[in-house]
Chain A
Amino acid sequence: MKKLIVSPAPHLHGNESTKSLMRDVIIALVPSLLVSVYFFGFSAIKLALVGVATAVAVEYVIQRYIVKSKITVNDYSAALTGLLLSLNLPPNSPWWIMFIGSVVAIGIAKMTFGGVGQNLFNPALVGRVFLLVSFPVIMTDYSIPTSWFREGIDASSGATALSIVKEGLAKGLTMDQIFSENNFSYAQMLFSKIGGSVGEVSALALILGFVYLLIRRVIRPHIPLAIIGTVLLFSGIFWLINPQMYADPLFNVLTGGILIGSIFMATDYVTSPMSKKGMVLYGVGIGIITMLIRYWGAYPEGISFAILIMNATVPLINMYMKPAKFGKEVKHG
């Protein structure tokens, strides 16, 4: 007689796996990766390769030889961290910066907490911030490497738009003067050509990735929209008060990592809240902290710090921002 499998319901399972979800996020990053290769050539390829290879190797070595646990590198989560970090570095970064960043991201921010799903802070961001405070000169040098395909971006943009604005304001220039001196335009910001890290050269490529993630239902729109909405509102208020002191809201959203940060970093499953209410609160918090740092902090850009700070609040948010329970609004009897 044939032996039957007996196990509790449900007897069917969805097709998604950690692997398929991570793969989808990597696919969503492909447009940004292609744009960066177009503009930065070999440099972008080199950073991505070193980033992914190091991240995967570090996770493998730790699991195989140190903690002797199951090897999980085939779930693509380490590869994703390495890729994300590479897209968050200045295009001219040396390969060893990428290597150190990946070691810190996986070795310290992820594996010490117990590997995938266990970390409190976003590994790629921990790696990036570690590099930013350890190698401030390299990490803020946004000069353009020579490309295979074309002669780089506008040679003048050796700094990010946000740092140009911050320095300009410090020199006592008005916003109009800064914009006209540097030929800033929204078309530039949308399609490329603005100084910044590898992955944020094209807002359009990032938005394409966002749409893909939404269609594939990999992420919910709540966190990115809450961040972007908060940045628009916050900067909009200040811009209305004094447009010569504060850049306009659209400029604030299209520059300095708001898009890559809100779409790909803040939505990291492990380090973001579980309920939709919690997601909105988390996004608003990131938006506010980002703008506080931009306007009054020492750094021109603040979304990395903002996300990490809000990462720390996630357990608390999960404890208090519960999903709406069925049957709560109806009185008994």
Chain B
Amino acid sequence: MSKTFRIGGIHPHDNKISVNAAIENFPVMERAYISMSQHLGAPAEPVVAKGDKVKTGQLIAKANGFISANIHSSVSGTVNSIEMLPDLAGNLVQHVVVNVEGDEWMESIDRTPEINRVIKDSPQDIIAKIAECGVVGLGGAAFPTHIKLSPPPGKKAEFLLVNGAECEPYLTSDYRIMLENTEEILIGVKLMMSALGVKRAYLGIEENKPQAIKKMKEIASKGYQEIKIVSLKKRYPQGGEKQLIDAITGRQVPSMGLPIDVGVVVQNVGTALAVYEAVQKNKPLFEGVVTVTGKCMPEQRNFRMRVGTTFESMIFAVGGFPKDAEKLVSGGPMMGKAVSRIEAASVKSTSALLLLTEEETKRGEEANCIRCAKCVDACPMGLEPYLLNRLSRANRIEDLEANMVHDCIECGSCLYVCPADIPLLDTIRLSKTKVLKIIRSRPKK
């Protein structure tokens, strides 16, 4: 029996058209644009200067503050410049730009294909290596992994949940690594279990990926019995942290709470693979699998790609910019970000590049709310988007807080289902920011 979360949810069309494309290595570009702000928290502090020679995997920026992460060069060559460049949304962010010369890796990285199954490191050493290698959550938020694996004092993790749901339409990068790097992921999960000191882990996969479930179960039965593979119903947003916890454990994270409040830590399968590579292979996080897809594209492929690759080069690798493509999305179509300039570069957590035609992405003209309650049915947090939209437009902050606008996970289900094309999430997102700011400004009890 497949599990799922209990409140709301929608069933957008899968469109996983790149599902059968095996992972290929993306050619290293001429120049890498490496952002210093690839994670949640403070930007990293560059430790290289213009003109320095760097190797692939060499530390080029150190974590700056408690919530931050190290950044390593994804290429070898000479530092061309350290400058403020627009990121995919157009915000100016410090970048280290490296002119590529060959591809010389740090000697410390184990590049042999053999799977290293023996876990030698202590929990503390595992966390230290993860921090050293700059591993961040690859499910979207890019929260530094070593912090998530170190619960605050007084909080104890009981389970580790691993997210292999990949509930966003179009995306197939997690699916491909689950098929192609199955055992590495399971070892990564074991490493994180050891770091957390938990005895049990659950790896959830949606049932539209039967081959991944089969392969995971098969490998898990050979020495990874403490990791239970859970089949999940296909339903968006199954991969939302709170929804995944509800689906697998039946526990609900309280409002404003964290998974650790119900004894759970959630990590993505991509993160598990990065943890394996960091701890067992000494390989920092400087490349990842990116799905390059879209119905208007001549081909849809999955690439293992260096951080700092421009969207432009990805598009040209699959045949150029299609005439009818109007929107470029980094990530999935439900929660991904629209890219404003194709010269922007990928970051550690980039999971996909999706090109959509105007027809596919068009929103209809806003009409009156007919109170069909489809948004209420769709909201996975049990909120009332139609009401929050009205309150947001009237700027009724107190009523917004009373109606829990701060619980919104911005999954977009309400806007997706709305027959009147009301920009529900747009207005809710704005008022959520205001309400959260007020809540956080209050003195702590």
Query: A residues engaging B (CB < 8 A)?
Result: 2, 4-14, 16-18, 20-21, 72, 75, 77, 114-118, 220, 269-270, 272-275, 318, 322-333
A12 contacts which of B169, B387, B407, B418 (Cβ < 8 Å)?
A: B169
Q: A11-B329, A11-B336, A117-B371 are in contact. List 17 more A-B contacts (CB 8 A).
A: A4-B327, A4-B338, A9-B410, A13-B421, A21-B419, A77-B370, A117-B420, A118-B368, A220-B377, A270-B371, A274-B376, A325-B381, A326-B252, A326-B381, A328-B255, A328-B382, A330-B251
**Given A8-B338, A13-B363, A326-B7, A18 and B419 touching (CB < 8 A)?**
yes
- In Å, the complex CA distance between A331 and B261 comes to 9
Residues from chain A with a CB closer than 8 A to the CB of B376 are 274-275, 323
Give Cα A330–Cα B337 distance, bound, in whole angstroms: 33
- Verify A325–B382 contact, CB threshold 8 A: yes
Say whether A10 contacts B338, CB under 8 Å.
no
Residues of chain A lying within 8 A (CB to CB) of residue B421:
13, 17
Q: Flag whether B205 is at the interface (Cβ < 8 A).
A: no
- Complex interface: stretch among B44-52, B61-69, B131-139, B353-361: B353-361
Among A7, A9, A273, which residue has its beta carbon within 8 angstroms of that of B335? A9
In the assembled complex, how far is the CB of residue B432 from the closest CB belonging to chain A, in whole angstroms? 13
Q: Is B384 an interface residue (CB 8 A)?
A: yes
Interface membership of B212, Cβ < 8 A:
no
7 contacts between A and B (CB under 8 A): A4-B326, A10-B416, A12-B361, A16-B374, A325-B255, A326-B407, A330-B254
**A8–B336 CB distance below 8 A:** no
Task: Determine the chain A residues whose CB is within 8 A of the CB of B426 once the complex forms.
Answer: 8
Using C-beta atoms within 8 Å of the partner chain, give the interface range for chain B: 35 or more
Inter-chain CA distance A136–B118, complex, in Å, is: 88
Residue interface bits B339-361, CB-to-A below 8 A is 1, else 0: 11110000000000010101011
Which residues of B (360-400) have their CB < 8 Å from a CB of A?
360-364, 367-374, 376-377, 379-384, 386-387
**Chain B residues numbered 242-283 whose CB sits less than 8 Å from any CB in chain A:** 242, 246, 251-255, 257, 261-262
Pick from B7, B333, B370, B380: contact of A10, CB under 8 Å: B333
Q: Known contacts being A16-B419, A20-B419, is A329 close to B336, with CB within 8 Å?
A: no
Contact of B364 among A17, A115, A117, A332 (CB under 8 A): A17
Chain A: minimal CB distance from B422 (Å):
10
Contacts of A17 in B (CB 8 A): 364, 419-421
Distance in Å from the Cβ of A8 to the closest Cβ of chain B? 6
A269 to B336, CA, bound (A): 32
Contacts of B371 in A (CB 8 A): 117, 269-270, 272, 274
Closest Cβ of chain A to B292, distance in Å, is: 16
- Which residues does chain A contribute within 8 Å of B296, judged by CB atoms? none
Instruction: Answer whether residue B162 sits at the interface, using C-beta atoms and an 8 A cutoff.
Output: no
Q: Does B415 contact A (CB under 8 A)?
A: yes
CA distance A333 to B156 in the complex (A): 10
| CB proximity of A17 to chain B, nearest CB, Å | 5
The tally of CB-CB contacts under 8 A between chains A and B is 172
CA distance A64 to B274 in the complex (A): 62
User: Which residues of chain A are within 8 angstroms of B342 by Cβ–Cβ distance?
Assistant: 4
Closest A residue by C-beta to B250 = A330
Chain B residue nearest in CB terms to A324: B382
Q: List A contacts of B340 (CB < 8 A).
A: 4, 6
Query: Nearest Cβ distance between residue A174 and chain B, in whole angstroms?
Result: 45
What are the residues of chain A within 8 A of B425 when measuring CB–CB?
A: 8-10
- Do the beta carbons of B253 and A324 come within 8 Å of each other? no
B407 to A327, Cβ gap below 8 A? yes
Q: Complex formed: what's the CA distance from A117 to B373 in Å?
A: 12
Q: Judging by beta carbons under 8 Å apart, are B246 and A117 in contact?
A: no
Q: Please, how many angstroms separate the alpha-carbon atoms of A291 and B380 in the complex?
A: 37
The minimal Cβ–Cβ distance linking A319 to chain B, given in whole angstroms, is: 10
Are B415 and A325 touching (Cβ within 8 A)?
A: no
Q: How far is the CA of A21 from the CA of B340 in the complex (A)?
A: 35
Contact call B368/A14, Cβ cutoff below 8 A: no
| B429: interface (CB < 8 Å) | yes
Within the complex, what minimum Cβ distance (angstroms) separates A312 from chain B? 15
A274 to B377 CA separation, bound complex (whole angstroms): 9
Q: Is B178 an interface residue (CB 8 A)?
A: no
Which of B89, B252, B415, B419 counts the most chain A CB atoms within 10 A? Answer: B419
CA A9 to CA B424, docked complex, whole Å:
11
Query: Across the two chains, which residue of chain A brings its CB closest to B89?
Result: A6
CA distance A10 to B250 in the complex (A): 27
Contacts A326-B7, A326-B381: A5 and B338 contacting too (C-beta < 8 A)? yes
Q: Is the CB of A8 within 8 A of B419?
A: no
For A327, list chain B residues within 8 Å (CB): 242, 252-255, 257, 381, 407
Q: Among A11, A16, A21, A75, which residue has its beta carbon within 8 angstroms of that of B333?
A: A11
CB neighbours of A331 from chain B (8 A): 254
Q: Is B77 an interface residue (CB 8 A)?
A: no
Across the interface, name the chain A residue whose C-beta is closest to B380. A326
Partner of B336 from A9, A114, A270, A325 at Cβ < 8 Å: A9
